[in-house]
Amino acid sequence: MKYLLYYVKKLVVVKRTRSYYNTEWQFIYQLGLITYHSAFV
């Protein structure tokens, strides 16, 4: 869950930048990987 909070905070910071959409997709992808791995650990 610490990773989840980290990426949420990272997304909030990224929202203030101009490369918002590109980073948002990267965030969703990374979040998906974390959820996938944590489901089997």
Instruction: Tell me the pTM.
Output: 0.38
User: Under the phi-then-psi rule, with left for phi > 0, alpha for psi from -120 to 50, and beta for the rest, what region is 17?
Assistant: beta
The reported pLDDT for the residue numbered 2 is 78
Please check whether residue 19 is in contact with residue 13, taking contact to mean a CB–CB distance below 8 angstroms: no
Cα distances from 33 to residues 5, 16, 17, 18, in angstroms, run 15, 24, 24, 25
Dump pLDDT digits (tens) for 1-40: 677 788 878 777 766 665 656 677 888 888 888 888 887 7
State the Cα–Cα distance between residues 12 and 41, nearest whole angstrom: 27
Cα distances from 3 to residues 8, 18, in angstroms, run 9, 24
Hey, where are the domains in the chain?
2-40
